[in-house]
Amino acid sequence: MQKNTCLTGYLLVSLIVLSCAGETKKAVAKEAEEKKPAGTKILVCDFEDPEQKIDVYSGPQSKISAGISSEQAKNGKNAAKVEHSTRDWSGAVVVLPVEKRDWAGLSTFRMWVYGSKSNSRLNIDISDGKKEFFRYSYVDDFEGWKELVIPLSEFKSRTDWQPSEAFINKKMDFPIFELHFCTSGFGKGTHYFDDIIIE
Ligand SMILES: [Ca+2]
Ligand SMILES: [Ca+2]
């Protein structure tokens, strides 16, 4: 009897181990499915269309304006021009069209920035599918066009602020709805941006 109980116990454990192994295999298969083919690229915005809408927002002590401009362009004829004078907060946003929102399996953010050596700190904020904000910061300490190439993993969930409705899990959930390609703390300046690509 004792032996039978042991045998049943052994069989049960084996079954559990086997079914767990099955789950792991399934999880690996799912991850593999999410990888997009090598070379997949999403051109989020090239700022060529003069009708392209760029939304802006600012705090009570700040001013910002943004639009399509032909004064500077890295590629094509136009780029985004953002002018701001910021003493609390300000930002410029593009809302992504539906077909450009699924970044699953992609790993790199690229954007051309026209530096003016203003030494002001600028941020790129990505608001994910659950309204969680991720941020990457850099300093405008260069002149002329420079391509920022940033692994998506370098964008960190903001700890200084999140919308009250955000679900915070420190993971970038897709689809992405908004890209705040220029937000600023203190400072003022005129900046140009071109070709934002996720790959
Ligand atoms: Ca352009
Ligand atoms: Ca998230």
Whether the predicted pLDDT of 89 surpasses 50: yes
> How far away, in angstroms, is 131 Cα from ligand 2 center?
7
Q: Of 69, 98, 66, 76, whose CA–CA distance to 177 is shortest? A: 98
Q: How far is the CA of 151 from the centre of ligand 1 (A)?
A: 22
Helix-strand-coil split of the chain, %, nearest 5: 20, 40, 40
Per-residue pLDDT band at 139 (split at 50, 70, 90): very high
**pLDDT per position as a tens digit, 10-38:** 555 554 444 545 555 555 545 545 667 77
Q: How is residue 193 written in tokens?
A: 């941006």
Shortest-distance ligand to the CA of residue 195: 1
Reported confidence tier of residue 92, pLDDT bands at 50, 70, 90:
very high
Q: Which helix (H) or strand (E) holds 34?
A: helix 2-34
Residues flanking ion ligand 2, Cβ below 5 Å? 128, 130, 132, 169, 171, 173
pTM higher than 0.85, yes or no? no
What topology does CATH give the domain 42-198? Jelly Rolls (2.60.120)
Query: Among residues of the chain, what percentage have pLDDT more than 70?
Result: 82
Domain boundaries, the chain: 1-34, 42-198
CA 17 / ligand 2 centre spacing (Å): 32
Contacts of 10 (CB under 8 A, 6+ apart): none
